[in-house]
Structure 1
Amino acid sequence: MLEVAAAIISNEQNQLLIARRKKGKSQEGLWEFPGGKIEQGESAQSCLRRELLEEMQIEILPQEWFGVNDHYYGATHIRLVAYKATYVSGEIILVDHDDYRWAHREELKGYSFAPADIKFVEMLEKEMNGMA
């Protein structure tokens, strides 16, 4: 099993950061909440701070556990752990993605997300509608 962390990053306008996986990557062309693989002995929060600095050149503050999703891509089992986080600083420079957006929750359904991220899109929609 591969453990991966995802950040649900919000800005001052209450928009969420999503990024599109670039050509040549698995799940290319699909949108996701940014993050990455959790290394041995690393917490999900530390992973998210490291990955966002490496992949987008931004600092974030992971704050609140949001959820977990076990997903199978064929024989590959990933456990995706999501944390709500706040954007702190830095100008976004993409490394593993070819595009990004700051989107309002109600806009998320208009994007094609990687299958493991869809559960979090649905949870955010329920939360927005007061059904969390």
Structure 2
Amino acid sequence: MKSVEVVAAAIVKDDHILIAKRGSGEFEGLWEFPGGKIEMGESQEIALKREIDEELNLMISDLNYIDTTFYDYPSFSLVMHLYSCTADTENIIKHVHSELLWIHYQQLDSVEWVPADIGLLKSVVDYLSKD
């Protein structure tokens, strides 16, 4: 089975995380941590900065690794690395998502998630609770 490796961001502001609703495709209408595929030769951190700039017009910093999840979809296996980070700018522009939401990290389970992202929710809560 084909394997796809991606990075995702838990963009933190106060006790809230920026999450994004898929605007099209198989999981349209479900929430996810923004991010995307790692391109050949990119580090996880460089890929994440590029993806967040492309998807949200945001520059991010203070990247801290949280966790990695593995999820088997019918046609491919996904490996997703999640990082916490902060936004260096506030001029968010949605390029691929239908909606964005700042949600308190203790309420992450109150929305419907893309299947692979569900495996990271507890890790985000645990990571942010330790501060």
- What is the TM-score normalised by the length of structure 2? 0.90
Structure 2 counterpart of 1:82, which letter? Answer: L
CA contact (8 A) 2:58 2:92 kept: yes
Query: For the residues of structure 1 that align with 2:55 and 2:127, how far apart are their CA atoms?
Result: 28
1:84 aligns with 2:106: no
| 1:1-132 → structure 2 map (5 Å cutoff) | 1-11=3-13, 13-23=14-24, 25-127=25-127
State percent identity of aligned pairs. Answer: 34
- CA deviations 1:40-74 (Å, max 9, x no partner) are 01011111111111111111115211111111111
TM-score of the pair, normalised by structure 1: 0.89
1:36 aligns to what SS in structure 2?
strand
**Runs ≥4 residues deviating over 2 A:** 124-130
* 8 Å CA contact 1:49, 1:62 repeated in 2: no
Any stretches of 5+ residues in structure 1 without a counterpart?
A: none
SS across alignment from 1:51? helix
The 3 A distance-change label for structure 1 pair 119 and 58 is same
Structure 2 stretches lacking a partner, 5+ long: none
* Cα distance in structure 1, aligned partners of 2:128 and 2:119: 14
2:16/2:103 contact within 8 Å kept = yes
Residue 88 and residue 73 in structure 1: after superposition, are their counterparts in 2 closer, same or farther (change >3 A)?
A: same
Q: Number of aligned pairs?
A: 128
CA 83–127 in structure 1, closer or farther in 2 if over 3 Å, else same = closer
**Match for 1:101: what amino acid?**
L
Alpha-carbon deviation of 1:123?
1.8
Give a deviation string over 1:3-37, Cα, whole Å, max 9, x none.
100011101x22111000003x2311110010000
